[in-house]
Amino acid sequence: MALEQSHPWADAHRALETELSRMAGLVEKQLLGAITAFERRDIAAAEELIAADQRIDEMDLDIETRIMALLADKAFPEEALREIMTMMKMTSELERVGDLAKNVAKRTLVVSRQAPARPTLGVARMGRTSLRQFSDILNAYAARNIEAAKAVWGGDDELDELYNSVFQEILLAMMEDSGKVNACTHLVFIAKNFERVGDHATNIAEALYFLVTGARMSAARPKGDETSTTIVEPPKHTGGAAR
């Protein structure tokens, strides 16, 4: 989609798109770094990621301030207003994903100082899946590719299904070994953070759909998170005293 180059919005639009692209790239880098730090139990990398989140917050505030100044000074055609609304939505979603990456890094500081818990591999797999969804929607946004956005929107249930499976595995691990309760509790929150990344990717897909079409998605959002009603039976011990 291209706005009229003669409109006074055009230069501001290009500058904002550049800044938004930089912010998206930084958030994607933060998410990848958080996943890698978790996988490697890298405390130093996690601490660096936590500190780096401030830059994302600063970029979010800068873009929001510039957009508000534009809205106060100019009258825009409908197409430009959709661009502005979508940019405001994008910065909010990107800032939240940055926060989720920081939260993963914080909890990595805890789990990396304890003995590894069995569900760690499943949580890491969730992280990689969430990163793929997030990268796909950023690429779709950059290309204004509505079909790719629909694919991300429709694929969120894959991450939900992974979360359901990992959640049950973590609960079972805690039941089997009470010494793993602390680490596993943090793993639950890390997994939930990755599941939320998928939700934000879906939000961006809906924002892109609105940007391109001027309408909202009419179908119900796919949602397969069943953890609120999950019940896992404790393992049965046979033959001898329970350890």
For residue 64, being part of any structural domain is answered with yes
- Amino acid, single-letter form, for residue 24: A
| Least-confidence region, from 119-128, 151-160, 200-209 | 151-160
| pLDDT of 4 strictly over 60 | no
For residue 227, being part of any structural domain is answered with no
Cβ atoms within 10 A of the Cβ of 113, count? 10
pLDDT of res. 241: 44
CATH number, position 26: 1.20.58.220
Spatial distance between the Cα atoms of 45 and 131, rounded to a whole number of angstroms: 18
The two three-digit tokens of residue 119, written as one number: 């569900």
Cβ pair 19, 62 in contact under 8 A: yes
Spatial distance between the Cα atoms of 117 and 177, rounded to a whole number of angstroms: 10
pLDDT, tens digit, 9 for 90 and up, residues 31-85: 999 999 999 999 999 999 999 999 999 999 999 998 888 887 767 777 888 898 8
Span between the terminal Cα atoms of the chain, in Å: 64
pLDDT of res. 225: 58
| pLDDT of 131 strictly over 80 | yes
For residue 68, being part of any structural domain is answered with yes
Q: State the chain's mean pLDDT as an integer.
A: 87
| pLDDT of 5 strictly over 70 | no
- Counting residues of the chain whose pLDDT is more than 90, the rounded percentage is 63
pLDDT band of 221, cuts 50, 70, 90: low
For residue 30, being part of any structural domain is answered with yes
For residue 202, being part of any structural domain is answered with yes
Total number of domains in the chain: 1
The two three-digit tokens of residue 39, written as one number: 């996988």
Estimate to the nearest angstrom the gap between the alpha carbon of 190 and the chain centroid: 12
For residue 225, being part of any structural domain is answered with no
* Mean predicted confidence (pLDDT) in 138-149: 96
For residue 100, being part of any structural domain is answered with yes
| pLDDT of 2 strictly over 50 | no
pLDDT of res. 126: 95
Q: Which of the two residues, 226 and 118, has the higher pLDDT score?
A: 118
pTM: 0.85
pLDDT of res. 1: 46
What residue numbers bound the domain in which 183 lies? 11-220
For residue 235, being part of any structural domain is answered with no
pLDDT of res. 233: 64
* Mean predicted confidence (pLDDT) in 109-134: 91
Cβ atoms within 10 A of the Cβ of 153, count? 23
84-90: list long-range contacts, CB under 8 Å, 24+ apart: 85/210, 86/207, 86/208, 86/210, 86/211, 87/16, 87/17, 87/20, 87/63, 88/64, 89/203, 89/204, 89/207, 90/20, 90/24, 90/141, 90/204, 90/207
pLDDT of res. 152: 94
